A and B are shown apart, each in its own frame.
Chain A
Amino acid sequence: MFQESEIINFISALVSVLIILLISRKKEVPKFRFIYPGFFLIVSGDVFTLLEGLFWYKTFNLLEHLSYGAAGILFAAGAWSMRNSPATAEEKR
Chain B
Amino acid sequence: MYEGVIVFFDVASAVGFAAALVIVLNLRADILDHVSKTLLALVLGIYVLVGMANILEHASITAYFDRYEDYFEFLFPLTFTYFLYSVIVNRELDRRKQAEEALNSALMTADDAKNRFEAVIAAVGDGISIHDTSFKVLYQNRVHRELIGNHAGEFCYKAYRRRDQVCEDCGLAMSFRTGGVHTVERCATIGAKIVYIEVTTSPLRNYKGDIIAGIEVVRDITIRKKLESQHAHMRKMEAMGQIAGGLAHDFNNILTGITGYGSIIMKAMLDGDPLRRHVEQILVSTKKAKALTRGLLTFGKKQVINPRPVQLQGIVENAQKFLPRIAGERIAVKVTLTDRDLTILADSDQIEEVLLGMAANARDAMPNGGSLSIRAGRFVLDDEFVKVHGYGRHGAYARISLSDTGTGMTEETIESIFDPFFSTKNSGEGAGLGLAIAYGVVKQHTGYITVESEVGKGSTFSIYLPLM
Contacts and interface: CB of A to CB of B under 8 A. Distances in A.
A35 B47 CA distance: 13
Nearest to B26: A83
Q: How many residues of A sit at the interface, in one of the four size bands?
A: 35 or more
A75 B44 contact: yes
B257 interface: no
Interface string A2-38: 0101101100110111011001000111100000000
B20 interface: yes
B269 interface: no
B20 A75 contact: yes
A3 to B, nearest CB: 7
B9 A66 contact: yes
A80 B9 CA distance: 20
Contact of B50 (A39, A68, A73): A68
A89 interface: yes
A60 B28 CA distance: 39
Interface in B26-74: 26-28, 30-32, 44, 47, 50-51, 54, 70-71, 73-74
Contacts of B8: 69
Contacts of B73: 5, 9, 46
Main secondary structure, interface of B, reads helix
Contact of A93 (B13, B51, B94): B94
Contacts of B9: 62, 65-66, 68-70
Given A71-B47, A74-B16, A89-B31, A79 B23 contact: yes
Contacts of A6: 70
Contact of A92 (B15, B20, B30, B54): B30
Contact of B47 (A28, A42, A89, A92): A42
B84 A71 contact: no
Interface string B59-102: 00000000000110111111011001101100110100010000
A26 B5 CA distance: 41
B51 A68 contact: yes
The 9 closest A-B pairs by CB, nearest first: A72-B16, A5-B70, A69-B9, A16-B77, A69-B12, A72-B13, A79-B23, A65-B9, A79-B20
7 contacts: A6-B70, A13-B76, A15-B81, A19-B81, A43-B77, A46-B77, A76-B15
